[in-house]
Chains A and B, each alone.
Chain A
Amino acid sequence: MDVNRVWENFLHKEDDRYFSILYDGFVEPLYSYGLYLGFNEDQCKDAIQDLFCKLYFSKKRLSHITHITAYLYRAYKNRLLDMYRQSSRYESLDNVRDVFSIKATVLEDLMDKEEALYLEAKMNTLLNNLTAKQRMVIYMRYMQQLSYAEIGEALEINPDSCKKMVYRAIDKLRSLTKKSKTPE
């Protein structure tokens, strides 16, 4: 079932099963997302638990939310930032916001090791050439398959500029793939 349908059901039916479906569907992507944002494992786990407890009790106030994925990403990030703020009240947040590190890995059993390593290195060089924000939109668009509208909501930017950001990131990747000729 589509997540937004699950969300609708959760909002309007008194059935905790839908809550569990939401949890199961989001716990891993959110956990990864938090780590990519530079938070540690415990912080990510705590924030996820807080987020879902809140979700359960404030569903009446959240009925206007239609894109649950985007909402969860946004609320989760805010929770993480708040936790960070509480632990270090006077530090700047800038260094946190500018982190987004993802890494590609190749499952080796399908191709030979040398080739796998080569591809892996290549992918990671490509990704490292993007800015943190670009990596974030690429991650959401292509790894998490979010729509532009959803990414826009999750990151609190306009869907159009979000689309532009994705295109610009792809253009950059494209020019980089073309430039770096294969060492034969």
Chain B
Amino acid sequence: MDTPYNFLKDPNFIEWRLFRTHEQNKFWKAFRENNPHLEPYLKDAIEQFSSITMQDPFLSEEIKQSMHRQIVQRIRRRKTIRRLYLYSSAAAVLIMGLFVGRFLLYERTRTSLHTYEEQSIVGQELPKEEIYIISGEQKTSIADNSDIQLTGKAKAVIIDSTENKQELKLDAVAMNQLIVPYGRRSNIVLSDGTRICLNSGTRVDFPSEFKGKTREIKVEGEVFVDVVNDAKKPFIVHAGNVAIQVFGTSFNVSAYKEDQAVTVVLVEGSVAVKTEEEQAELQPGQKAEILEAAITKEDVNVSEYISWVKGVLVFEETPVLEILKKVGRYYNMQFEGSADSSLNARTCTGKLYLSSSVDSVMVSISAISSTEFQRNDNHIFISNKETAYELKPINE
């Protein structure tokens, strides 16, 4: 096709189509009026020019949707946790804490790109819930710091901190549940003598007696287990999609729903960790981290993982948000910070004794990590000290 005039090579035309400035619009309006015979060619050129696009990277519909699904899942997960807190009623009790140790602060962010809400972490103290044993239709509340001992014959003895004994009938056939909410901890000795320490926010499903060829329990949350050796009856702990087979040993399992990974840390003896796809055997002092069905092994400092049993949290170069998550579980507080907060880049190393009030924990944390905290009823706001000048108006 022969064109009397090739608009696509006219710099003026290109500039007009690119930027549509006022003067260009005027020029081309007049041009069209004066050159009606060129109109079809001009229209063609305009259409052709519109086919120039910025090469926007392609994101398939499939990927977009799977990203959306993941976002919705993350939102749901956090919503469920919140709802659990809302249903509870009793008032909160504070426990005192103290941060001791050596703190390594990593590089501070140098820029002030952030707005206030991105820089702060907000903690909320939540009402306390009771510890329960659910057995069939029956739901029994248990006092804090009680020892629960299964005595066989579908019975349990509960000894509270004042040595009061109470006998409880359990379901002989179905699994029983021990539910420990955030902010509380509990111990149970199973019918075979195996001892389980339950950390805050943990549920254990257990039978009143181990009758089959195996001893099996189910865990959600964090437990420290000291298994009594019985070669004829292997002990199996199910946590998420992971099965841990135990041969007379003590180990720690952390399988909180909100953490994606299940971790198993072996203290003594030996355990085998199984998923649908993989299997690994752990040596004492080793940690297995299971994400989806993949198992990764690592040598670790065991005390960091089991210190909670004794009321101490040990951290080694642990990010602040991670610390707050653990502290939050212990005191039943919910901390919320954006993952992009610069506070997150800081890590702390040391021991945290979980014996005094949240306020004093916060004082120590903020003093050492150059943050500030503010308490407003049961909300705690943590922010960078520099926030004050970061809030200054830009460009004015």
Task: List chain A positions with a Cβ less than 8 A from chain B.
Answer: 20, 23-24, 27-29, 31-32, 35, 41, 45, 48-50, 52-54, 56-58, 61-62, 75, 77-79, 81-83, 85-86, 89-90, 93, 102-107, 109-111, 115, 119-120, 122-123, 139, 142-143, 152, 156-158, 161, 170, 173-174, 177-178, 180, 182
Contact = CB atoms under 8 A, between A and B. Distances in A.
A111 B9 CA distance: 13
Given A49-B71, A174-B15, A119 B52 contact: yes
A110 B15 CA distance: 20
Contacts of A119: 8, 52
A7 to B, nearest CB: 16
A84 B113 CA distance: 14
Contact of A156 (B14, B67, B113, B342): B113
Contact of A57 (B19, B109, B336, B395): B336
Interface of B: 8-9, 11, 14-15, 18-19, 21, 47-48, 51-57, 59, 63-64, 67-68, 70-71, 74-75, 78, 106-107, 109, 111, 113-114, 117-118, 336, 338-342, 344-345, 394-395
B68 A20 contact: yes
A174 B19 CA distance: 10
Given A23-B71, A58-B338, 10 more contacts: A27-B64, A28-B64, A31-B57, A45-B67, A77-B113, A78-B118, A90-B107, A93-B111, A107-B52, A115-B8
Contacts of B113: 77-78, 81, 156
B11 A143 contact: no
Contacts of A158: 394-395
Given A27-B64, A106-B52, A85 B18 contact: no
A106 B59 CA distance: 19
Given A27-B67, A48-B67, A102-B55, A53 B18 contact: no
B379 to A, nearest CB: 12
A111 B18 contact: no
B55 A103 contact: yes
Main SS class of interface, A: helix
Nearest to A153: B394
Contacts of B55: 102-105
A109 B50 CA distance: 12
A112 to B, nearest CB: 10
A24 B67 CA distance: 11
A27 B59 contact: yes
Given A23-B68, A104-B53, A156-B113, A53 B107 contact: no
